Structure 1
């Protein structure tokens, strides 16, 4: 049951709606909604496996392309096979962290256009949380599993000294990188409430992160490196933490301490992206009015 405050001509305003139900704790709401989305997939298990394999195969094509480059030239910007593989695994694992947990940001335009946001506003769970748990895409697990496999396979062949601190830093870098991507995409999703569908913008950002994130930034020159660090913070996803672990901070255009603290950029950008999304969602107009 919900109470609404009518605007002009009796049309309910999104910001005027107040749920009379007891608010559900965020973690509880997330686990319940995600569990329901996952159970709905189990009705078609063969399709689940095919989607999983298809996602892994799609990412594998880029890995094969990088392998061809390394086979032809032996190194990319001075990075050898094991180092490039480690960078690729770090980036893909971070991408998996983002898509597994936040991948439903892609549905924001559909939710706004079809009026599903109205139903989200009437429930005792934050609307953004409902959007992110709307369904579960099993293909995202393919990204995560393949990324972890590459990371684990490449790690022993790198010059990294594997101490508990180094392992902890990798874990922080993976999570932080995933949150960088999530923060960007969630913030862009908020524009759906004021500018209309932004799916193509999000696809472009995703393509840049995917295509450019697998390579050392130095191949893009000084201007490109600054662009992918300060404007579109791709470098924070995997490149900066990789240079710290591989002892390559001398090639950076930013101070080494920024690279060392790069995993912290993820939580900051996620909070900023969510704040932008919530702010812009106040401009929501129900398609039924």
Structure 2
């Protein structure tokens, strides 16, 4: 983006924040809702730390790093790139056609549609969980390990955004594909916080190579904690998870652009 485009994005974002805070009670309730939405992960972490010593060969502090990484990546995705999650509804209502008439990329307009206050709640819980995971960890947090963790969170954010962008691209041709995003969100919430080696091998393989949820948090956490050679995935591929997230996101944006160029309206 050019400097002028960045300024426009910044101004619109500030206007969206001000508009969201116009009704402060609703704004605060949205933040609380974002935090409450993660209550299942909080309960899982509490039970894990209080009742179990580990899971799937990982000790409890190592397991805790998986949901912490996933939630932090998810919170950033919701804050920065999450509006693609709801594009299917806008396509079904015909509002996407309005975006096509404006002199700004459609993807950018979608991301600037509103400010997701619930992301603040998501990130607050995620940050607390990450602090807890790091403080309980026995790892030596060198600068290299910290840098890899940051890269893993960013890569996880991009990979999750890529999956929802791909669904949005499919919705341009098949509006009912919007329901896939709900299914995808359920899968991320259900399986994204556990070591996948506790699942049947076929399920773990599907969530690694079919729908690459393992690369969001499980495989990066395995590399950080020394379990990278025990995941059933080549170590170099597990270690490259952050890079894979960036590449898959780039591919999803190309798919979105290709699909948008062939969009003929909600009624075909």
What TM-score bracket applies, with the shorter chain setting the length?
Answer: over 0.9
* Alpha-carbon displacement from aligned partner over 1:41-84 (angstroms, at most 9, x marks no partner): 01011111111112112202332034335544432112222112
Range with bigger deviation, 236-245 or 59-68: 59-68
Task: Tell me how far apart the structure 1 counterparts of residues 114 and 31 of structure 2 sit (CA, whole Å).
Answer: 15
Matched residue, 2:144: 165
Matched residue, 1:250: 229
Taking a change above 3 Å as real, the CA distance of residues 247 and 140 of structure 1, as seen in their structure-2 partners, is same
Determine whether 1:105 maps to 2:84. yes
- Residues 166-181 of structure 1: matches in 2 within 5 Å? 166-181=145-160
- How far the C-alpha of 1:276 sits from its partner, in A, is 1.1
- Residues 85-100 of structure 1: matches in 2 within 5 Å? 85-100=64-79
Matched residue, 1:141: 120
Please give the secondary structure, in 2, of the residue aligned with 1:186: helix
Count of equivalent residues: 267
- How far the C-alpha of 1:169 sits from its partner, in A, is 0.9
Query: Contact 2:167–2:178 at 8 Å: present in 1 too?
Result: no
Query: Contact 1:188–1:277 at 8 Å: present in 2 too?
Result: no
Determine whether 1:284 maps to 2:263. yes
TM-score normalised by structure 1 residue count? 0.86
Stretches of structure 2 lacking an aligned partner (at least 5 in a row): none
Stretches of structure 1 lacking an aligned partner (at least 5 in a row): 1-22
TM-score normalised by structure 2 residue count? 0.92
Task: Tell me how far apart the structure 2 counterparts of residues 74 and 52 of structure 1 sit (CA, whole Å).
Answer: 33
* Alpha-carbon displacement from aligned partner over 1:160-188 (angstroms, at most 9, x marks no partner): 21111111111110010010000010111
Matched residue, 1:215: 194
Taking a change above 3 Å as real, the CA distance of residues 24 and 109 of structure 1, as seen in their structure-2 partners, is farther
Query: Contact 2:68–2:130 at 8 Å: present in 1 too?
Result: yes
Task: Tell me how far apart the structure 1 counterparts of residues 56 and 148 of structure 2 sit (CA, whole Å).
Answer: 24
Query: Contact 1:158–1:246 at 8 Å: present in 2 too?
Result: no
- Which structure has the larger Rg? 1
Matched residue, 1:235: 214
Determine whether 1:30 maps to 2:17. no
Query: Contact 2:30–2:117 at 8 Å: present in 1 too?
Result: yes
- How far the C-alpha of 1:31 sits from its partner, in A, is 2.3
Taking a change above 3 Å as real, the CA distance of residues 112 and 100 of structure 1, as seen in their structure-2 partners, is same
Query: Contact 1:33–1:130 at 8 Å: present in 2 too?
Result: no
